[in-house]
Amino acid sequence: MRWFALFLIGLTLSSAYNDEETKSHFRDHLKKYGKYYDNPVEYAKRLSIYAKHRAHQIMHNLKYKTGSVGWREELNEFADQASEEFLKRLGLAPGPPPNNTGNSIPASIFYQGQKVKRGLVDWRAKGKVGSVKDQKQCGSCWTFTASAVIETCVAIATGSVPDMSEQQFQDCLHTKRCSPGGGWPATALDFAQKQGQSFERDYPYQAHDGSCHSTNKTAHVGQRISGKGEDDLERMLQTGVVSVALDASTLQRYAGGVVDAPTSVIHNHAVTVVALINDCDGKAAQCWVVKNSWGPKWGEDGFFRIVKGKNSIGVANVLDTANFLVFELLE
């Protein structure tokens, strides 16, 4: 039986690297995503990368069918990017989170004495989550998750979900951050608390670095709340969505399902936890629903699920949200 399984794997990998078949799939990939490589050397390089991704995807999905992993993979728009190239565009600044804890209240203190119930919650079902956006080729994930937190803060306070400006954070907090370098959601939330955040209609996203400027209308949120660990994440999620920093290495080919990869201490991408649910494909009793910033065609309509209880891919290592109880619009 083991010999037969190895035979099937070998046959599958042979198919993945078959010249004509791979070339045909690659041409379809380029057409689907509107990509074009006119340099023969570059074309060959991208084809080789695509073939490696295809082989990995086939192997992974065989594991998914046997139940040894909880999520499926596909050849999406990132399938012609090397893993190292893909990781460079994610957007978190390298190194540990910024040492600005003086601007935040630890979750253990903020929720002390409050009657905050723990358990299942879905801010999408409550109509308090903004639309999925696309950071494109800019390393600006941290601006999108900070905006997502603020959009939910405003929605809870006013009943209407706004569209906040990621570009303002990009321009006003850092320079030349669209390229590798990035920033942190905590810094953006602190900025919004003190100076306010503009609306997308007044300060639209450009996916490149620009010059900081002011607008007439801004939204201010209250105190930033920080935490660590899945207990804090569950508690913080009861009062709003939560920005998290995690290891996105396993997400390049994610198609759907529940990510149940091991924990990680690497932080290279920032996203937003919007729900804790029990619809986990039988892989776990509960799982986190996470909003990404790679557009609605990625993953599960722009979202993905992570198993609860093992801090998979470091989902609960760095947590930030904002106190929506203090909110104002400045004209």
Active-site residues, by number, are 141, 269, 292
Q: What is the DSSP string of 156-201?
A: HHHSS---B-HHHHHHHH-SS-TTTT-B-HHHHHHHHHHT-EEBTT
What is the distance in angstroms between the CA of the first residue and the CA of the last residue of the chain?
71
Q: Which phi and psi angles does 192 have, rounded to 5°? A: -65, -30
Rounded to an integer, what distance in angstroms lies between the CA atom of residue 198 and that of residue 203?
Answer: 6
Helix axes 40-66 and 2-16, enclosed angle (nearest 10): 150
**Strand locations in 211-316 (E):** 218-220, 224-227, 242-246, 254-259, 269-277, 287-291, 303-307
Query: In sequence order, which residues have a C-beta less than 8 Å from that of residue 95 and are 6 or more positions away?
Result: none
Rounded to an integer, what distance in angstroms lies between the CA atom of residue 40 and that of residue 150?
Answer: 46
